[in-house]
Chain A
Amino acid sequence: AQSVAQPEDQVNVAEGNPLTVKCTYSVSGNPYLFWYVQYPNRGLQFLLKYITGDNLVKGSYGFEAEFNKSQTSFHLKKPSALVSDSALYFCAVRDPYSPDRDDKIIFGKGTRLHILP
């Protein structure tokens, strides 16, 4: 069964430092991978996706993620963190060979990112 793991419940980073939020996945074949961000009392906002092509994907707000097939990882990164980046981040995966032909995506449990001023 497809799944995604976010091993860190919380990540603390000083403002201006680079940040990484980790994600590993388990799915047969080539996965579709996503990162979403959730601010307090808000819905999920799409950050970026990997479907195929270049392993380094650039997304919104200066975020990027690197797809690593051998390590089954899709870590989210940003070169210089802002206090406004503090939020809850979700990694998600979709099985492209889903027999149900639906758009269901499986989310990780989330990583809370704290950017310290």
Chain B
Amino acid sequence: DAGVTQSPTHLIKTRGQHVTLRCSPISGHKSVSWYQQVLGQGPQFIFQYYEKEERGRGNFPDRFSARQFPNYSSELNVNALLLGDSALYLCASSLRTSGATYNEQFFGPGTRLTVL
């Protein structure tokens, strides 16, 4: 089975531009989360979407937004890019079954965003 896929793999933008990153979850997974990993740091949670609704939001400015589509794929949008937005953006999907059991998240390879 295919894992989590993300596109593009690399992206170079300039300050002030807008960027859209895409993620396709593992087949059958309905929950998608986005993380930002700055060089030398651990990933930081940005958003989680489940059944097309936002279920969680990290401490990121409103320039960051996301959505989930009926096929459970997701887009992360970042407006008015800053140099500090340069990072590896990771998408993760999980089964998110009902009940108390937690289902681990499976990560994609990431999109490397460079802002010049």
Contacts and interface: CB of A to CB of B under 8 A. Distances in A.
B42 A104 contact: no
Interface residues of B, number: 29
Contacts, number: 65
Interface of A: 32, 34, 36, 41-46, 49, 51, 90, 92, 94, 96, 100-110
A96 B99 CA distance: 12
Contacts of B94: 103
Given A101-B55, A104-B33, A104-B48, A109 B104 contact: no
Contact of B55 (A41, A51, A96, A103): A103
A36 B43 CA distance: 11
Contacts of B55: 100-103
B43 A104 contact: no
A51 B45 CA distance: 20
A43 B110 contact: yes
Shortest 10 CB-CB contacts between residues of A and residues of B: A102-B56, A107-B42, A44-B107, A43-B107, A43-B109, A104-B45, A102-B55, A102-B48, A100-B56, A109-B42
A8 to B, nearest CB: 14
Nearest to A45: B107
Interface in B1-36: 4, 31, 33, 35
A74 to B, nearest CB: 15
Could you say which of B42, B92, B106 has the most chain A C-beta atoms within 10 Å of its C-beta? B42
Given A43-B110, A44-B90, A51-B102, A103 B43 contact: no
A104 B54 CA distance: 12
Contacts of A100: 55-56
B96 interface: yes
Given A102-B55, A103-B33, A104-B33, A46 B106 contact: yes
Could you say which of B43, B103, B106 has the most chain A C-beta atoms within 10 Å of its C-beta? B43
Contact of B41 (A41, A44, A109): A109
Contact of A34 (B31, B50, B104): B104
Nearest to B106: A46
Interface in B73-116: 90, 92, 94, 96, 101-110
